[in-house]
Chains A and B, each alone.
Chain A
Amino acid sequence: GEDVEQSLFLSVREGDSSVINCTYTDSSSTYLYWYKQEPGAGLQLLTYIFSNMDMKQDQRLTVLLNKKDKHLSLRIADTQTGDSAIYFCAEAAGGGFKTIFGAGTRLFVKA
């Protein structure tokens, strides 16, 4: 079945790098996503990676994809207090038509 798993909490100090990990099950997923949700708000698409890519970098964000292990990670360089939020990993499942979300990783950034 379709399932996305990620750790629930991560705490880092301001200025350090944050790495959020995710595993997924649908090997046919063509796109994998990282979304950010701030308290009481909807979801903001941070970045995505196509399944034929190993890495994607976008300013402070680096996404690594290990398709063999079905493992996805998001690295945030120079983490700031404004990065404190919930980060959702998601995969395009069901032939790419629907998006399946992980439970979300709550990132705490300590000043």
Chain B
Amino acid sequence: GAVVSQHPSWVICKSGTSVKIECRSLDFQATTMFWYRQFPKQSLMLMATSNEGSKATYEQGVEKDKFLINHASLTLSTLTVTSAHPEDSSFYICSARDLRVETQETQYFGPGTRLLVL
């Protein structure tokens, strides 16, 4: 089956630094990838939709200058949390839509990246 990886799986950083999280589709191509944020014991909140070769589409309330998204190829999207603060600590999950199969069930999720900002 299709696999989506994320790197790193967890990261601890100091307040004020920037952190980059990678999302890769390993055995399929994805024109669209999604970035979600999940707080403890809460649901996934869609942050943005990442489109290969164009600007990301951000959900209402998500700061595009704070969460930079780059979708440079059909297998890689990156999320950079700029000038991270403790309130940015969360579990970040990406998903990728399989380009080969034009049906809606083919969205595959990565294992998540746990970010802790001290």
Contacts and interface: CB of A to CB of B under 8 A. Distances in A.
Interface of A: 30-31, 33, 35, 40-45, 48, 88, 92, 96-104, 106
Nearest to A49: B105
Interface stretch (B14-22, B42-50, B68-76, B78-86): B42-50
B34 A98 contact: yes
Interface in B77-118: 93, 95, 104-105, 107-112, 114
Contact of B112 (A33, A35, A41, A96): A41
15 contacts: A31-B104, A35-B109, A42-B110, A43-B95, A44-B109, A45-B107, A48-B105, A92-B104, A97-B49, A98-B49, A101-B44, A102-B43, A103-B42, A104-B42, A104-B43
B110 A99 contact: no
Given A30-B104, A99-B46, 10 more contacts: A35-B109, A40-B112, A40-B114, A43-B44, A45-B105, A48-B105, A88-B43, A98-B34, A104-B41, A106-B41
Contacts, number: 47
B111 A42 contact: yes
A100 to B, nearest CB: 7
A31 B43 contact: no
A77 B93 CA distance: 29
Which 3 A-B residue pairings sit nearest by Cβ, starting from the closest?
Answer: A42-B111, A43-B109, A103-B43
Report which residue of B46, B107, B110, B112 has the largest number of chain A beta carbons within 10 angstroms of its beta carbon. B107
A31 B105 contact: yes
